[in-house]
Amino acid sequence: MRAWTARRWATAAAATVVVALVIGLPTELIANPWFHRMMPTTWWNHPVWLATSVLSGLLLATYVRDGRATEDRPSARGGIGGVLAFFAVGCPVCNKLVVVALGTSGAMTWFAPAQPFLAVGALLLLGAALRSRLANERACRVPAASEPGWR
């Protein structure tokens, strides 16, 4: 990441803010008039939300071209990690999918205790996806057509 251009860092910052809003507004980690959280947040909700936002922003910035030719095959790990984080920090009884699948009592009995594990899984998946993208960027650098010696 030391060799990242200003464009990549700007993308990382913008993507971090967008992910923070996309997760924070509907889960009401950011107070807003559109959504109402029925259960209070736990001590770990905000740190997981912020870590998810930063990791996602950095991961999304790896897809910005910086003048070098790279292979841009997206990994499912980052997307799955983001979805898991959304479920992890959300209110267990506010999530309609969870309530339909488990009922309100099931959401509190089964889903709420599983949320910290979802959070850990989400952060591990996002971290692994970012690490993989950064490692492949260093190891498998393909010269751009404009570089000398390219054929």
Q: What is the pLDDT of residues 67-91, one digit of tens each?
A: 654 556 667 888 899 999 999 999 9
**What tokens does 8 get?**
């990549």
Q: Domains of the chain: which residue ranges?
A: 6-139
Q: What confidence tier does 64 reach under pLDDT thresholds 50, 70, 90?
A: confident
Average pLDDT, the chain: 87
Tell which wins on pLDDT, 59 or 147: 59
| Torsion over CA: 19, 81, 118, 10 (sign) | negative
Report phi then psi at 94, rounded to 5.
-90, -20
